[in-house]
């Protein structure tokens, strides 16, 4: 068992054997680095009526730099 912090900062006990390893979709490397994707919100749907750029934190493969689909969704679709 390892202890980690949940999204709201509460402690969660996770059995690592119940988790699955994630790999790069392209090269199957299993280490990732945190990086940013930028999303552009057009003026039409932006709450302040201006074109807005939104940074979204994602994980990119440390080997080839590919961002897996499931990391890239970001909740803006
Ligand atoms: Zn890769």
**Which residues share a beta bridge with 40?**
53
Q: What is the distance in A from the centroid of ligand 1 to the CA of 50? A: 36
Is residue 64 within 8 Å of 31, Cβ to Cβ?
no
pLDDT tens for 11-68 read 778 898 999 999 999 999 999 999 999 999 999 999 999 999 999 899 999 999 999 9
What pTM was estimated for this model as a whole?
0.63
CA of 64 to the centre of ligand 1 (A): 4
Spatial contact of 31 and 62, defined as CB atoms under 8 Å apart: yes
If you measure from the C-alpha of residue 61 to the centroid of ligand 1, how many angstroms do you get, rounded to a whole number? 5
CA of 59 to the centre of ligand 1 (A): 11
Q: What share of residues in the chain are helix, strand, coil (percent, to 5)?
A: 10, 35, 55
**26/68 Cα distance (integer angstroms):** 8
CA distances from 43 to 38, 47, 74, 75 (A): 16, 8, 19, 19
């Amino acid at each position: 068992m390892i202890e980690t912090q949940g999204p709201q900062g509460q402690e969660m006990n996770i059995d690592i054997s119940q988790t699955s390893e994630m790999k790069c979709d392209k090269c199957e490397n299993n280490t990732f680095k945190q990086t940013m994707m930028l999303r552009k919100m057009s003026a039409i749907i932006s709450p302040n009526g201006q074109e807005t750029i939104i940074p979204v934190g994602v994980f990119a493969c440390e080997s080839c730099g590919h961002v897996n689909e499931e990391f890239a969704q970001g909740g803006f679709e």
